[in-house]
Amino acid sequence: MPAEPNGPEMTSDESLHALAIAGGSVALAVAGAVGARRLIGRQELALAARYRGDFAGTRTRLRLIRRVVTAAAVLIAAIAGLEATPWGQGFSRTLLASGAVVAVIAGFAVRTPLANIAAGVQLALTQPFRLGDRITVNDLDGVVEEIKLSYTVLRRDDGRRVYLPNEQLIGSSIINATIEDPTRAEIVTVPVAHGADLDSVRRRLLEIAFAIPGRVASPEPVVLFVRVDELAITASITAWVTDGASAQSVGSELRLRAATELARNGELAHA
């Protein structure tokens, strides 16, 4: 006897209807993620404008919430797409039927990514460091630029970025130079043309840094030449500020004045 079919076959109209439902579910989840990210971003800007005190801790938590919402929306979209069609439902049942095998395989495959994500959540909640803090980890020092779900971005004084897995940070000793001392370094770089008088450039950039409003009196600004290549000599200017809000304005003004001074004397390199 011929084998009985597992269920009635779908007509073309029913297939199109199921696909439309799946596509609509995915689109709705994606739209929700985009809307949530924008809403949280606007709330962050609004809070920063009227916040009195150190905003770094709150900003770190808001960035984590935004990324968790996005990840959750992607997961919901995938589930909705599967459940909206009979083929997806059959695939889901197949996965559930072989759940033990899948769990073992997936456990080996995603242990490190999931551990990094869990560590990222822990870092954002416990906050051994925050966005804008200066930290040292395993002889690497710099300013925390981003705390993502799976890794943290550390900006070094020479402008290079170091990407540290969050799981590694959880298991490492971290020196935070900002929590006890709220001052932090704002570092900007400008390209100096070859042939420029570097002693004169350093002296004038220091004068600009000392005259920048919003910086703290101590430590004093520092100008270093950190890199030389065929295009330019990169000058690094460091000024110290009290918080993340003033760091942005001080950095912008410092970059503008330094570039204007170099361009006025024909010493600004162009890529």
More confident site: 156 or 113: 156
Whether this model's pTM surpasses 0.85: no
pLDDT tens for 26-76 read 677 677 767 766 776 676 666 555 555 555 656 666 666 776 777 777 667
CB distance 152 to 166 below 8 Å = yes
Domains 134-176 and 184-264 alike in fold: no
* DSSP code for 268: B
Mean pLDDT throughout 237-263? 86
Residue 87 pLDDT: 57
**pLDDT category, 199, cuts 50, 70, 90?**
very high
Mean pLDDT throughout 207-218? 90
Class of domain 134-176: mainly beta
More confident site: 15 or 103: 15
Mean pLDDT throughout 132-141? 85
Burial of 235 (0-12, 13-18, 19+ CB in 10 A): buried
Kindly list the domain boundaries of the chain, sorted by start residue: 12-97, 134-176, 184-264
Class of domain 184-264: alpha beta
pLDDT tens for 85-100 read 655 555 555 555 555 5
Q: What are phi and psi of 95, to 5 degrees?
A: -65, -45
CA angle 154, 159, 163 (to 5 degrees): 30
